[in-house]
Amino acid sequence: MNYIKDMRELIDSNLLMTVGCGIILEKDSQILLQHRKDRDVWGIPGGVMEPGETFLETAVRETHEETGLHAENLQLFGLYSGTEGYAEYQNGDQVYSVQIIFHTQQFSGELMQEGEESHEHRFFSPDELPKINFHQERFVMDWANNASLPILK
């Protein structure tokens, strides 16, 4: 199933609301980030919920697809909404995404370096963060600043 693709065939580039789910994977006080192939930015693994999925299922599935890692014992990190959720892509597609972000330090598997959506994956400490995807900057910076959880924005 590819909900976004199916909806785009119906509504073209008009505004589409989505639910995105991601996981902050932390190891030794460092966050795992992926370097995107479509833009020169970094962000956490995650993606869009498909109909019938739970927030947790979406976050775990997307993280495994993008990193090869199996995340466990997820805790709610934050709920993100507001104007920062709007994006217009180069092809003209408009989207407004509400983000449900989880956090864990428990994961297993072998980390893939390159996937369909990313060039590489790397762990970063809060004081050495690279250029972060604008739409994910809020939660990455909340992590780096040890914000009180859960975050509701």
Q: Among all residues, which ones are annotated catalytic? A: 120
Paired residues of 120 in beta bridges: 35
Q: What is the rounded distance in angstroms from the CA atom of residue 122 to the CA atom of residue 116?
A: 16
Amino acid symbol at 2:
N
Amino acid symbol at 12:
D
* Beta-carbon contacts of residue 41 (< 8 Å; ≥ 6 apart): 35, 131, 132, 133, 134
Q: What is the rounded distance in angstroms from the CA atom of residue 81 to the CA atom of residue 57?
A: 20
